[in-house]
Amino acid sequence: MLKRVGCFLCVIFAVLPAPPGFGGPAQPPPTATAAPRAQASGEEKPDEGIPVTSDLVKRKCGTCHRADEKGRLTRISYRRTTPEGWEQTIKRMITLNNLPLEPAEARDVLRYLADHHGLAPEEAKPAAFEVERRLIEYTYAGDKDTEQLCTTCHSMGRVIWQRRTKEEWTLLLEMHRAIYPGTDTVFRRTVGQRRQSAPQAGGPPPDNRHPMDKAIEHLSSAFPLTSAEWAAWSATMRPPQLQGRWALAGYQPGRGPVFGQVVVTSQGDPNSGEFTTETTFTYARGGQTVTRRGRGLVYTGFQWRGRSTGEGTSFPIAGVSTDWREVLFVDRDWRHAEGRWFTGAYNELGLDVRLHRVGADPVVLGTAESMIKTGASRQELHLFGANLPSNASPADVNFGPGVTVDRIVSATPTQMVVSVSVAPDASLGRRSVMIAGATGEASVAVYNTIDFIKVRPQSGLARLGGGAAYQKQFQQFEAIAYAKGPDGKADTKDDVELGLVDALWTIEEFAATFKDDDKDFVGEIDAETGLFTPNVDGPNPKRKNNANNYGDVWVVAAYPRNLGRDRASDARPVKGRAHLLVTVPSYIMFDQPEVAR
């Protein structure tokens, strides 16, 4: 299921008044102070729980979440999660339970809990797509039934970024039943489906547990409070020292690679985990340069959450703010970090980012051109990096056998232009780029023909919007060139990805419903950039049944662009296509923007 696809039930929740008893005057609620369920039922319970040492948290939360003799607060001590996970809970405490909290206090509480009741890097990584706001198709490998149950309403990302005791998983689902009407309907529906599966003769007895109990069982063993990873990480966690110069290699779908640098400066105390940033980068294709300034805060020793603002249009959409959010995972060695920068307003617009700390050695980040052709000379390649040698000779730059560097056209510490010839019989495929003494992951593909192109993503999703209340959700497509590889067949394992190419973009009818002419209503694709802009939301009197402008279409890329345009020519362009679903707005928004301050 697509992440963050809204559900109809959630729409109902959003408009329903809170059930009686919630949002009333603050009073210690039974669930917050109730005797632990496992004890009540006489089960053996390990003596888990993280003592709270922050006076602020004790003062603000301890009124309802009582401390025990070991300084453990009910609920709070039995759960760990990401900064976003904590923020969500704190917000509910404020809105639903009338917790009085000033913004500055909320920040400090959040910081304390994310640091001390947080996740280890190995635990946080699988949920990175959620914090990085990637609109991806995520399949949970753990347990199908649990996934089905939980993703009826929200992303599985918000589940897998939690660690809890069994009792806490139980209370969470009880909270769902109490607060979010409809939960029981979902749970019951799943039970109904289960009952229909008749026992198999001679097979194991059917699993007739209630789906909620099954989910609790699964979640408590898959995402327990106590873990070896957290024990190890929390014992040695320290504020990361990130100040200095970092080389930046990024990728923006549709526009390709960017290269540049980020200068990170400590803000105040070098142990505060707070930084300011100055970033410049260049789009390798096209050469546009962007400068940005920002701030960042590192939670739990590795989770960078930042904001930045700057000049230069990265996304060619009128009215899109240039404010970005930054989510990065800092490696244990404090020498690499990776994640995603995305526009605060539109999660779908963003860049993948990787940072390498710049020391004294040269680093090769990548190339502007992703492929070089066999049997051709004077092919210019733009190499990007840091500390690149300014006096390099052709012999210092190496692409492996069959590729000769004829000349260094120009060289600066961050960019080198070389002219190469590729032998007619040079072996095809990707090869790494070496510059004397430098490290890096740059590579370039040697090819002789572009056999086919693929449109990425293969199935896109856009949302109507821009009417009274809801914003549009855009979909950027890109055309990626491929060679068939040694087996001479397309769509096999040995295909060689050659990289992003400029295609001519059109949309065509996807014949799902006869004569619905979706392509005339869903919106428009930019012929050159591949950016799809959906139509406005709301009923359209020009459409049959006064329908909304939703629908599904093919998105078609033709390469090269001029052949796509020239219908008279005998030569045919190579084409690729993808499915695009244009649907109604997302009526609910899950968002925790404040973690990035």
Interface residues with ligand HEC (CB under 6 A)? 9-10, 13, 26, 29, 31-32, 60-61, 63-65, 75-76, 79, 85, 88-90, 92-93, 96-99, 109, 146, 149-150, 152-154, 158-159, 162, 171-173, 175-176, 180, 182-183, 186, 215, 219, 590
Choice between 61 and 249, CB closer to ligand HEC: 61
Give the whole-angstrom CA distance, residue 477 versus residue 75: 44
Choice between 58 and 373, CB closer to ligand HEC: 58
Query: What is the number of residues in the chain?
Result: 597
Q: How far is the CB of 324 from ligand HEC (least distance, A)?
A: 23
Q: Around Cβ 347, how many Cβ atoms within 10 Å?
A: 20
Give the whole-angstrom CA distance, residue 79 versus residue 117: 7
Choice between 113 and 330, CB closer to ligand HEC: 113
Q: How far is the CB of 590 from ligand HEC (least distance, A)?
A: 5
Q: How many CA atoms are closer than 13 Å to the CA of 221, on its beta-carbon side?
A: 8
Q: How far is the CB of 474 from ligand HEC (least distance, A)?
A: 23
Structure tokens at 450: 């572009």
Choice between 10 and 563, CB closer to ligand HEC: 10
Structure tokens at 166: 């069994």
Q: How far is the CB of 436 from ligand HEC (least distance, A)?
A: 52
Q: How far is the CB of 129 from ligand HEC (least distance, A)?
A: 16
Choice between 300 and 314, CB closer to ligand HEC: 300
User: Cα–chain-centroid distance for residue 181?
Assistant: 29
Choice between 64 and 578, CB closer to ligand HEC: 64
Give the whole-angstrom CA distance, residue 261 versus residue 281: 6
Give the whole-angstrom CA distance, residue 542 versus residue 544: 7
Give the whole-angstrom CA distance, residue 26 versus residue 43: 32
Q: How far is the CB of 183 from ligand HEC (least distance, A)?
A: 4
Structure tokens at 592: 């925790």
Q: How far is the CB of 31 from ligand HEC (least distance, A)?
A: 4
Choice between 141 and 360, CB closer to ligand HEC: 141
Choice between 179 and 434, CB closer to ligand HEC: 179
Q: How far is the CB of 88 from ligand HEC (least distance, A)?
A: 5
Residues 6+ apart with CB under 8 A from 211: 145, 149, 187, 190, 191, 194
Choice between 8 and 436, CB closer to ligand HEC: 8
Q: How far is the CB of 205 from ligand HEC (least distance, A)?
A: 23
Q: How far is the CB of 579 from ligand HEC (least distance, A)?
A: 28
Choice between 219 and 365, CB closer to ligand HEC: 219
Name residue, tokens 């990361």. 240
Choice between 24 and 199, CB closer to ligand HEC: 24
Reference 2, options 597, 594, 586, 432; nearest CA is 586
Q: How far is the CB of 297 from ligand HEC (least distance, A)?
A: 18
In single-letter form, the type of residue at position 45 comes to K
CA torsion 566-570-576-578 (nearest 10°) is: 60
Choice between 90 and 479, CB closer to ligand HEC: 90
Reference 238, options 268, 273, 269, 277; nearest CA is 273
Reference 257, options 293, 287, 291, 292; nearest CA is 287
Give the whole-angstrom CA distance, residue 123 versus residue 151: 20
Choice between 149 and 501, CB closer to ligand HEC: 149
In single-letter form, the type of residue at position 34 comes to A
Q: How far is the CB of 51 from ligand HEC (least distance, A)?
A: 14
69 burial class (0-12, 13-18, 19+ CB within 10 angstroms)? exposed
Choice between 188 and 332, CB closer to ligand HEC: 188
User: Cα–chain-centroid distance for residue 53?
Assistant: 33
361 burial class (0-12, 13-18, 19+ CB within 10 angstroms)? exposed
Structure tokens at 338: 């990776």
Q: Is the peptide bond before 424 cis (omega within 30 degrees of 0)?
A: no
Q: Around Cβ 77, how many Cβ atoms within 10 Å?
A: 23
Q: How far is the CB of 166 from ligand HEC (least distance, A)?
A: 13
Choice between 83 and 523, CB closer to ligand HEC: 83
Give the whole-angstrom CA distance, residue 202 versus residue 197: 15
Residues 6+ apart with CB under 8 A from 146: 140, 159, 214, 215, 218, 219
Q: How far is the CB of 12 from ligand HEC (least distance, A)?
A: 9
Structure tokens at 535: 């139509």
Q: How far is the CB of 587 from ligand HEC (least distance, A)?
A: 12
CA torsion 35-39-41-44 (nearest 10°) is: 160
Q: Are 482 and 497 in contact (CB under 8 A)?
A: yes
